[in-house]
Structure formats: C-alpha cells, structure tokens
C-alpha cells in the first residue's frame, strides 16, 4: 500500500508544472499568523492571505507593466522616432 501511494505521488510530482505563487506564500504566512492570533483560525487566515497576496502581486505586476509601457513610449518620442531630420 505504501509503495502505491509513493508511486502515485511521484507520478504527480513529475507531471506537474511549476506553480507561479507570486504573493501567495508571503500572504499565507502573514494571514496564517494573523488568523492564529485572532482565534485559532490559522488555516483560514492562510487561505485568505494567499488569495489577497496573489491579488496584490497581480496588481503590482500590472502597474509595473503600465509604467514600463509609458516610459518606452516617452523614450521613443524623445529620441525622434519620426525618422531622419529633413534638410
């Protein structure tokens, strides 16, 4: 029985894709501690913290993408991307 469980777990581990857990781990840690302190609901706090942390990471990534898009468009305008100067 133990060998079967180990084989199934190994199969899942080899076939899975790496997870993009940006913000989830940090949020889960903070939420777990807060939930534990607030009344012994550490797992509930960790779950909520993971969701909130992931949301904040996505929001930050969107803001950074928008800023880089704006800086690239300003750089193109400043370098004279219209073409060579006319004589």
Q: Tally the domains of the chain.
A: 1
Structural domain including 68 reads 21-77
Distance, in Å, from the CA atom of 21 to the CA atom of 36, rounded to the nearest integer, reads 22
Query: Is 49 domain-assigned?
Result: yes
Query: Is 39 domain-assigned?
Result: yes
Query: Is 43 domain-assigned?
Result: yes
Query: Is 33 domain-assigned?
Result: yes
Of 66, 31, 33, the closest CA to residue 48 belongs to 31
Q: Between residues 44 and 78, which one has the greater pLDDT?
A: 44
Instruction: Tell me if 22 sits within 8 A of 50, measured CB to CB.
Output: no
Whole-number pLDDT of residue 47: 92
Query: Residue 76 pLDDT more than 80?
Result: no
Query: Residue 60 pLDDT more than 60?
Result: yes
Query: Is 14 domain-assigned?
Result: no
pLDDT in tens, 5-56: 777 777 666 655 565 677 888 889 999 999 999 988 999 999 999 999 999 9
């Amino acid at each position: 029985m133990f060998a079967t469980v180990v084989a199934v777990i190994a199969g899942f581990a080899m076939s899975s894709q790496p997870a993009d857990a940006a913000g989830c781990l940090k949020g889960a840690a903070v939420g777990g501690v807060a939930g534990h302190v607030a009344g012994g609901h550490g797992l509930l706090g960790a779950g909520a913290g993971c969701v909130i942390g992931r949301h904040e990471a996505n929001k930050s990534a969107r803001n950074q993408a928008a800023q880089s898009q704006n800086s690239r468009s300003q750089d193109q305008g400043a370098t004279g991307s219209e073409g060579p100067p006319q004589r």
